[in-house]
Amino acid sequence: MEIWRGKAYPLGATYDGSGTNFALFSEVAERIELCLFDDDGAGGVRETRIALPEVDGFVWHGFIPGVEPGQRYGYRVHGPYDPGAGHRCNPNKLLLDPYAKAIDGAFTWGQELFSYNFGDPDSRNDEDSAGSMPKSVVINPYFDWGTDRPPKHEYADTVIYEAHVKGLTQTHPDIPEQIRGTYTAVAHPVIIEHLQSLGVNALELMPIHHFANDSTLVDKGLSNYWGYNTIGFLAPDHKYGSSATPGGQVQEFKAMVRALHDANIEVILDVVYNHTAEGNHLGPTLSMRGIDNAAYYRLVDDDKRYYMDYTGTGNSLNVGHPHSLQLIMDSLRYWVTEMHVDGFRFDLAATLAREFYDVDRLAAFFELVQQDPIVSQVKLIAEPWDVGPGGYQVGNFPPQWTEWNGKYRDTVRDFWRGEPATLDEFAYRLTGSADLYEHTARRPVASINFVTAHDGFTLADLVSYNEKHNEANGEDNKDGESHNRSWNCGVEGPTDDAEILALRGRQQRNFLTTLLLSQGVPMISHGDELGRTQRGNNNGYCQDNDLTWIDWENADADLLDFTRSVSALRAAHPVFRRRRFFSGKPVGRRGEAGLPDIAWFAPDGSEMTGEDWGSGFAKSVAVFLNGLGIPDRDARGQRVTDDSFFLCFNAHYEPIEFALPPTDFGSEWVPVISTAANPTTEPIAAGAHVSVEARAVLVLRSDQE
């Protein structure tokens, strides 16, 4: 087969209409063979090996005329095999291209995928792995995007919905069975209409980068459902594709993005750049380990056979190496420019800040993102922790970044389950967490607020279980978080008790109301608005079944309607979507002195004092939000004004009488949201008293004259 010298850039396999250029980085390789796989005409597979003829700057490359999209390929890297020195090259192991834009097939777990013999990690195993490996695929880069444009929603106007491609769509009765669980299903009109009805304008998809199902899970009859086990940073996983054509998932993914953009919904990807599926020193050799182990992975300095593990998965990507950094940045740019995604949520993002040992806010990765003209312009969301020393970094990411606010989750959970001494921190979380973000010149939108996410209890389970029930995972219920800040409302798990069921419903409404009316960016976990349960399992990472899929047939219609109403209130009123923190200072029309932009009241109508905030037993508070005190301007420079609101939060186990503010704050208050079962709807005069049910929220509006 003819091969030309080709080019060293771009890395990966690049089809240009006449053939394909192949380029692979390896600093330690002595020779690299490109392996092409085709049907042999007799039901088998023919492998053609071609040595890449050129190397420039440690990039091995070659161009093969006539190689077209759909071609399956892999690499064999000849070089040193010396684990103690950090080198694990073995040409008997077929390797996936780290820059593969599509991957076809599945891993068949066995001895041949490992470079050592089971039971003897210091030995070398030379069994050929090609028959047990998926293959990289040359893709067709051309796609008709039509008039596609990114929605570019401002953070303050964004409502995020975290979802799993399969879990969201697998059981929906209006989606054809043959496409359920796929990218095409996510783009189905019934899913788009559901998201729009919730006011969702950003869909955050759990990992869709190609990932491996761990051999330990496969042996148990389980799978890596969540997908936090990446092995292809540029490849949408074919498990969520409906096409049988190798590489067809790329076209499907693009069509999904186009459809969501047409509906004014952004696409955010949950990405895992902190580790790969190759695991620790006892893991398989699938890709980067066999290409250039020391360049791609963080190794223990004084014994390079072992891996630094800040992720709890066995390895950590070496973000201190320029080619590892290049892989991450090339991947991010590819997903923005070629796949048209609108942002990223970075799993265990603190790991990316570890250039050496400690977390460094100004690590090279963040500097690269800051100056990148493409990546810096999309939504960047950090999961601001990892499992290493000093890994909890909520509030410490650079100004350009937003963060999953774990303190918001914990505080709101504690407040509504009646924990003492939570009132003052609850106020911080409700108003955008200025204590975490203001000192770095960030604004309330730096806080991605959430009560539940994929990791942990669903909202229905949060109010139904005190303890995790993860027996189905096969780990004797030892996996998953044990401190969930949950409360079962009196009975563990399912019950027929009408009072407990009513309380659980009210608690779910309390959480959703708090979430959607807090300053910052709300994130709803998929199915929470429908009452989705995992039957007490708080770690569904390995459960690809009806335990984790949304049960559309038994959705809680009343809860869905309630969620829609609160989201609509948020969308209609900018006082809940402020772009700047509250000051507490008087504001008014045309600059004259007026009411403060925010004021806090005890239930008796007196303004909160330091003693009130410090009271450990207090579980009720009211807050006035001044619609004339919004320091924002619209796109035309006009000052933003709104109605004013009075929110009463009662986490006490008994009803509480709240005194409404005097006439200076509004002459009449109209109830607009109540989490109680039989809310009042009649207007209430200033200074009057209103009863708020035990463990409930009442939201009142005063029209501005």
Could you list the active site residues? 347, 383
**H and E: helices and strands count for the chain:** 15, 29
Give the integer Cα–Cα distance in Å for 277 and 176: 32
**Helical H segments across 438-483, by residue range:** 459-462
The candidate with the shortest Cα–Cα distance to 605, out of 519, 506, 684, 509, is 684
Q: List Cα–Cα distances, 233 to 210, 317, 373, in angstroms.
A: 7, 12, 20
Q: Is residue 673 within 8 Å of 569, Cβ to Cβ?
A: yes
At 634, list the tokens. Answer: 């619209």
**Which residues are CB-neighbours of 32 under 8 A, at least 6 positions away?**
24, 26, 51, 52, 60, 75, 76, 77, 78
Q: Is residue 76 within 8 Å of 93, Cβ to Cβ?
A: yes
At 274, list the tokens. Answer: 């902190």
- 406 Cα distance to chain centroid: 13
Count other Cβ atoms within 10 Å, centred on residue 677: 12
Exposure of 416 by Cβ count < 10 A (0-12 exposed, 13-18 middle, 19+ buried)?
Answer: buried
Exposure of 332 by Cβ count < 10 A (0-12 exposed, 13-18 middle, 19+ buried)?
Answer: buried
The candidate with the shortest Cα–Cα distance to 88, out of 310, 296, 323, is 296
The candidate with the shortest Cα–Cα distance to 162, out of 522, 531, 544, is 522
The candidate with the shortest Cα–Cα distance to 493, out of 454, 467, 470, 532, is 467
Give the integer Cα–Cα distance in Å for 423 and 226: 35
Q: Is residue 350 within 8 Å of 359, Cβ to Cβ?
A: yes
Q: Is residue 506 within 8 Å of 676, Cβ to Cβ?
A: yes
Exposure of 657 by Cβ count < 10 A (0-12 exposed, 13-18 middle, 19+ buried)?
Answer: middle
Which amino acid type is present at position 671?
A: P
Give the integer Cα–Cα distance in Å for 272 and 340: 18
Q: Which parts of 387-488 are beta strand (E)?
A: 402-404, 447-449
One DSSP character per residue, 531-568 reads: T---TT-S-GGG--STTTS--GGG--HHHHHHHHHHHH
Which phi and psi angles does 25 have, rounded to 5°? -85, 135
Give the integer Cα–Cα distance in Å for 460 and 495: 13
Host H or E run for residue 524 = strand 521-525
Axis-axis angle for helices 288-296, 322-337 (nearest 10) = 120
Give the integer Cα–Cα distance in Å for 189 and 84: 55
Provide the terminal-to-terminal Cα distance of the chain, rounded to the nearest Å: 80
Which phi and psi angles does 634 have, rounded to 5°? -80, -175
